[in-house]
């Protein structure tokens, strides 16, 4: 058994029959998509202030925050639904208010009322207001960002490889993006602008793994012109498995450190990226390459070197 990978003797050379597991992987992927769709239909996304508009205030009390007392003071102002929760330390609290009447002026008046009601013992560390037009614009721009990202990757893979590779890569990336959205809707995590960043990071990481595997597949298509595609795909995934595992492992180490030691703000940001990296790694192995079996790649399509 050989343990060599570019001079790094960590992961052994494997002979795992990934193609044999492809239908299990496809069913699992479809299950993730179905569960996400059902959750979106039943409870939707927990949109943050970034998307639905409103007021976000971060306050700090002199001692451990008395949420019950703070909630009573804010609720008595008649500003609609108000959400209060501790944020990081025991003396830090996040206050979220829904959209106020009167546009931007109404939003600022709500901030003034909360400030006066809580008194001088509370310091305001951050105040954010988002109007309905800004929220709608952010939703539209976020959708465009994800679509342009996927479109650019589709074009890149098409030019560098062939259209079959591009289509399979986009199918796998779509699954990865849906899986991250599923985490937000099932766990009811706040879906804000950071969620879009997490989706884009997931897509970017996943396509990096996929391109490495595709490059080896193209190389082996030239080298083994008579090898059945089923065996060739298995060989290519196994040959790149060491690199895939090592890259994902080191990335996840850093992300888990951020999640465990970075505080609540960083943890909320790191968790979906952890899920995205894990899902992206799995999809690059079990989806993007095995899907090529359904598109009858012709050997001559892979002979020219387009890299």
**Is residue 36's pLDDT more than 80?**
yes
Q: Is residue 1 part of a domain?
A: no
Q: What CA–CA distance (Å, rounded) separates 202 from 209? A: 11
For residue 31, name the pLDDT band (cuts at 50, 70, 90): very high
Residue 97 in any domain: the answer is yes
The CATH number for 61's domain is: 3.30.70.3400
Give the separation between CA 224 and CA 34, rounded to whole angstroms: 38
Residues 198 and 276 reside in one and the same domain: yes
Same-domain status, 90 and 226: no
Nearest by Cα to 185 from 30, 32, 19: 32
Same domain, 163 and 258: yes
Tokens for 272?
A: 């979906």
Predicted TM-score (pTM) of the model is 0.76
pLDDT in tens, 79-92: 776 777 777 677 78
167 and 102, same structural domain? no
Report yes or no on 290 lying in a domain. Answer: yes
The 10s digit of each residue's pLDDT in 252-289 is 999 999 888 877 767 888 899 999 999 999 998 898 88
Final residue before a domain boundary, out of 107, 130, 153: 130
Q: Are residues 238 and 270 in the same domain?
A: yes
Last residue of a domain, one of 114, 130, 146: 130
> At which of 104, 130, 156 does a domain end?
130
Q: Based on the domain organization, do 290 and 231 belong to the same domain?
A: yes
- Number of domains the chain is built from: 2
236: domain CATH number? Answer: 1.20.1640.10
Specify the pLDDT at position 299: 58
State whether 92 and 229 are in the same domain. Answer: no
Whether 61 maps to a domain, the answer reads: yes
What would the pLDDT profile of 100-118 be if each residue is shown by its tens digit?
A: 666 667 777 777 787 777 7
Would you tell me how many other CB atoms lie within 10 Å of the CB of residue 307? 8
| Within a domain: 225 | yes
Q: Are 85 and 72 in contact (CB under 8 A)?
A: no
What is the H or E stretch that residue 206 is in? helix 193-223
Handedness of CA 44, 45, 50, 55 (dihedral sign): positive
Average pLDDT value for residue range 196-225: 86
User: In this structure, are 66 and 85 located in the same domain?
Assistant: yes
Residue 120 shares a structural domain with residue 178 = no
Q: What is the DSSP letter of 93?
A: E
- 24 and 67, same domain (yes or no): no
pLDDT at 203: 87
Looking at the domain assignment, is residue 7 inside a domain? no
Question: Which pLDDT does position 83 carry in this prediction?
Answer: 74
Residues 190 and 226 in one domain: yes
Each residue's pLDDT tens digit, 140-192: 777 888 888 888 888 888 888 888 888 989 999 999 999 999 999 998 888 87
CB atoms under 10 Å from CB of 81, counted, come to 9
State the residue range of the domain holding 32: 19-47+135-302
- Range ranked top by mean pLDDT from 70-84, 130-144, 213-227: 213-227
Q: Do residues 245 and 280 share a domain?
A: yes
């Amino acid at each position: 058994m050989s343990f060599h990978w570019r001079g790094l003797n960590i992961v052994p050379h494997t002979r795992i029959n990934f193609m044999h597991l492809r239908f299990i992987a496809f069913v699992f992927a479809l299950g993730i998509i179905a569960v996400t769709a059902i959750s979106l239909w039943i409870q939707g996304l927990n949109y943050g202030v970034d998307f639905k508009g409103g007021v976000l205030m971060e306050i700090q009390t002199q001692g451990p925050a008395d949420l019950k007392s703070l909630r009573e003071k804010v609720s008595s102002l008649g500003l609609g639904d108000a959400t209060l929760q501790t944020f990081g330390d025991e003396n830090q609290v996040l206050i979220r208010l829904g959209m106020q009447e009167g546009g931007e002026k109404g939003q600022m008046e709500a901030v003034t009322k909360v400030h006066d009601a809580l008194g001088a013992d509370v310091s305001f560390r951050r105040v954010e207001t988002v109007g309905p037009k800004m929220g709608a614009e952010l939703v539209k721009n976020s959708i465009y960002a994800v679509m342009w990202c996927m479109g650019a990757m589709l074009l890149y893979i098409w030019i560098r490889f062939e259209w079959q590779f591009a289509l399979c890569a986009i199918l796998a990336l779509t699954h990865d993006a849906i899986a991250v959205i599923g985490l937000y809707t099932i766990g009811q995590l706040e879906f804000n602008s950071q969620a879009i960043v997490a989706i884009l990071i997931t897509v970017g990481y996943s396509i990096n793994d996929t391109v490495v595997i595709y490059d080896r597949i193209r190389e082996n298509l030239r080298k083994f012109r008579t090898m059945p595609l089923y065996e060739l795909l298995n060989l290519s995934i196994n040959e790149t498995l060491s690199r895939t595992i090592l890259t994902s492992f080191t990335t996840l180490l850093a992300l888990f450190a951020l999640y465990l030691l970075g505080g609540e703000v960083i943890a909320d940001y790191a968790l979906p990226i952890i899920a995205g990296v894990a899902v992206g790694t799995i999809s690059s192995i079990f989806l993007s390459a095995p899907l090529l079996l359904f598109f009858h790649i012709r050997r001559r399509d892979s002979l020219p070197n387009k890299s």
